[in-house]
């Protein structure tokens, strides 16, 4: 019987194998799929090009139907590798509204949520290394 996830897997042209790899990946690898680019201001300030999106970050949508809209991240789904943003809704047939799932690659982080001490320390360490 084949394993569900193999670390030695390199690449495949077949989309079904790519989807299978991403679907069966462990959480530590799936978390990397939730990275998004930083705005130019944050990029210059922190000397980092992209960052994993977290709840509380403010993002700008750069692709799709809601392009140009800005909002706070409401929740992040690690299972589906999607981000849910406040006030970005879709209308259902019964007239109710539902939060729209957005791919993390389609957003750009404009304001980081640095309330988490680990995340704040990471930036402090990066600044010290760059200062040397």
- HSE of 52, CA atoms in CB hemisphere, 13 A: 14
What's 39's DSSP letter? Answer: P
Distance of CA 50 to the CA centre of its chain: 9
Question: 59 vs 77, 93, 94, 113, 121, CA distance in Å?
Answer: 16, 28, 29, 11, 21
Full strand arrangement of the beta sheet holding 58-61? 50-52, 35-38, 107-111, 58-61, 70-77, 82-91, 97-102
Report the CATH number of the 15-131 domain: 2.30.30.30
User: How does pLDDT run along the chain (132 residues), one tens digit per residue?
Assistant: 466 777 777 788 999 988 888 888 899 889 999 999 999 999 998 888 999 999 999 999 999 999 999 999 999 999 999 999 999 999 999 999 999 999 999 999 999 998 888 888 877 777 777 777
């Amino acid at each position: 019987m084949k394993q569900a996830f193999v670390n030695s897997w390199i690449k495949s042209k077949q989309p079904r194998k790519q989807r299978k790899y991403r679907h069966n990946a462990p959480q530590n690898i799936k978390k990397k799929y939730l990275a998004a680019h930083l705005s130019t201001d944050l990029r210059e300030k922190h000397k980092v090009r992209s960052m994993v999106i977290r709840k509380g970050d403010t993002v700008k949508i750069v692709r799709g139907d809601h392009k140009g809209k800005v909002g706070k991240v409401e929740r992040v789904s690690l299972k589906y590798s999607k981000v849910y943003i406040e006030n970005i809704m879709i209308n259902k047939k019964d007239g109710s509204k539902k939060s729209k799932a957005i791919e993390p690659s389609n957003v750009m982080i404009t304001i980081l949520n640095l309330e988490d001490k680990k995340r704040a320390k990471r930036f402090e360490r990066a600044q010290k290394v760059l200062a040397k």
